[in-house]
Amino acid sequence: MDAPDTLLITLTGKDRPGVTSEIFSTLARTGVEVVDVEQIVLRRRLVLGVLVTVPRDWERLRDAVEETAAGLGMSVEVERGTGDNRRRPGGRSHVTIIGAPLRATDMAAVAGRIAESGANIDRIERMARYPVTAIEMHVSGMEVAELRPMLASEAARLGIDVAVQPANLLRRGMRLIVMDVDSTLVQGEVIEMLAAHAGCEAEVAAVTESAMRGEVDFEESLRARVALLEGLPATALDDVYDNLELAPGARTMVRTLRRLGYRFAIVSGGFSQVTDRLAADLGIHYARANELEVVDGVLTGRVVGEVVDRAGKARALREFAGDIGVPLDAVIAIGDGANDLDMLNAAGLGIAYNAKPLVRDAADTSVNVPYLDAIMYLLGISREEVEAADAEAGIVTPAPPVER
């Protein structure tokens, strides 16, 4: 079947209410069919593109559109051609770029790598402008498995975050998010906070850092660190919990994604006496962690039951996904240490959050800005949408900087 003749009408100028209505009212009088439409507003400047079938007297339509545009104080181009928009090639993906700041050189480098690979940027939109800038590109023509490592190396060179995900229905469905706790959901390490109460913080911190780098066995390191806490009053757990600081944006992310039906789990190499309370406070559906043995109100220096280690975290993730009934491809895992690697690899999307180099290199993508809610931009949720939902619920968010 021959491709139909079409007209591409491109209108540009200062945005105001009624512009789109006026153009379509003019087109309506000619009896054309609308084939495609794209409209954006940037700094109150509108760009409207309309692809329509060609009427018999297309010059008359062109004159009418030009007259309407002139009356609106806008510029218009009418271009005649053949066919609909080309079919987008396979390998469609969402590429999210996050920077603080995001420089023109960063965008040029990412766009350049995409172009060099033979892929095409079909659409670009802003997801957030503060406290980080997040831009999403819709890319076609290259499989995610090829695009992801290429852009990851570019992101590392530039010092920005670039996430590449397949463009499919999973992004719009209910998903399970499984998070590490220490240095991910909360700032700092709970065991080090307990060690500060016991007077052995430096010794415990050194072992923790080595374990997170993957230099020593996690279970062995955990038991050695917990042994140093022997004799510590259990009330220290309450003091530590009361002084926990969540990662910036943690409450916003959980609150927003719960509205959309997401499920949450925390899986920690830390301690259930803290994580269970944290889960209840945030409305997190599942929690799995180690249990400190307490006898007569003091810590014995031992853990009760099986240790939640690297493999245990991955098992918990699979268990939670099975309980909810979501495929592993619909699971997002977030962590920062070597103990999280199996969990990150088991998930459909593994995110290294302010992680050690070993973890960043192994994860699907990394987020290195200190805002946990930046992960929502990877899911196609803009900051404007989050703030609008919060406003409807009576939650006040800080005012953004004024755009100029």
Give the C-alpha separation, 117 to 269, whole Å.
41
Give the C-alpha separation, 307 to 297, whole Å.
22
Q: In which band, very low, low, confident or very high, does the pLDDT at 169 lie, cut at 50, 70 and 90?
A: confident
Residues spanned by CATH 3.30.70.260 within the chain? 5-82, 93-167
Q: In which band, very low, low, confident or very high, does the pLDDT at 41 lie, cut at 50, 70 and 90?
A: confident
Among residues 15, 106, 182, 364, the one annotated as catalytic is 182
Backbone angles phi, psi at 369, to 5 degrees: -95, 150
Among residues 180, 309, 336, 340, the one annotated as catalytic is 180
Of 173, 184, 176, 108, which Cα lies nearest the Cα of 380?
A: 173
Give the C-alpha separation, 166 to 330, whole Å.
12
Q: Indicate the range of 28-32, 83-87, 205-209, 291-295 predicted with least confidence.
A: 83-87
CATH of domain 5-82: 3.30.70.260
Q: What is the pLDDT at residue 1?
A: 43
> 177-370 is classed in which CATH architecture?
3-Layer(aba) Sandwich (3.40)
Q: Residue 230 pLDDT > 80, yes or no?
A: yes
Fold for domain 93-167?
Alpha-Beta Plaits (3.30.70)
Give strand ranges (E) for 29-74: 34-42, 45-53
180 is catalytic: yes
pLDDT in tens, 294-312: 999 999 999 999 999 999 9
* CB distance 221 to 211 below 8 Å: yes
Q: In which band, very low, low, confident or very high, does the pLDDT at 87 lie, cut at 50, 70 and 90?
A: low
The more confident residue out of 208 and 69 is 69
Give the C-alpha separation, 75 to 107, whole Å.
28
Tell me what the mean pLDDT of segment 373-394 comes to.
Answer: 92
Proportion of the chain above pLDDT 70, given as a percent? 95
pLDDT, the chain, mean: 91
Q: What is the pLDDT at residue 168?
A: 84
Q: What is the pLDDT at residue 213?
A: 77
Q: Residue 404 pLDDT > 80, yes or no?
A: no
Give the C-alpha separation, 356 to 368, whole Å.
10
Tell me what the mean pLDDT of segment 150-173 comes to.
Answer: 89
Q: What is the pLDDT at residue 214?
A: 75
Q: What is the pLDDT at residue 258?
A: 95
Q: What is the pLDDT at residue 401?
A: 60
Backbone angles phi, psi at 350, to 5 degrees: -105, 125
Q: Indicate the range of 2-16, 39-53, 251-265 predicted with least confidence.
A: 2-16
Q: What is the pLDDT at residue 289?
A: 97
Tell me what the mean pLDDT of segment 129-150 comes to.
Answer: 93
Q: Residue 81 pLDDT > 90, yes or no?
A: no
Tell me what the mean pLDDT of segment 317-324 comes to.
Answer: 97
Q: Residue 381 pLDDT > 60, yes or no?
A: yes
Q: Residue 397 pLDDT > 90, yes or no?
A: no
Q: Residue 27 pLDDT > 90, yes or no?
A: yes
Q: Indicate the range of 66-75, 333-342, 357-366 predicted with least confidence.
A: 357-366
336 is catalytic: no
Q: In Å, what is the CA distance from 70 to each residue of 39, 66, 76?
A: 19, 6, 8
* CB distance 267 to 316 below 8 Å: yes
Q: What is the pLDDT at residue 356?
A: 86
Residues spanned by CATH 3.40.50.1000 within the chain? 177-370
Q: What is the pLDDT at residue 299?
A: 97
3-state DSSP assignment of residue 298: strand
Q: Residue 361 pLDDT > 70, yes or no?
A: yes
CB atoms within 10 A of CB 127: 23
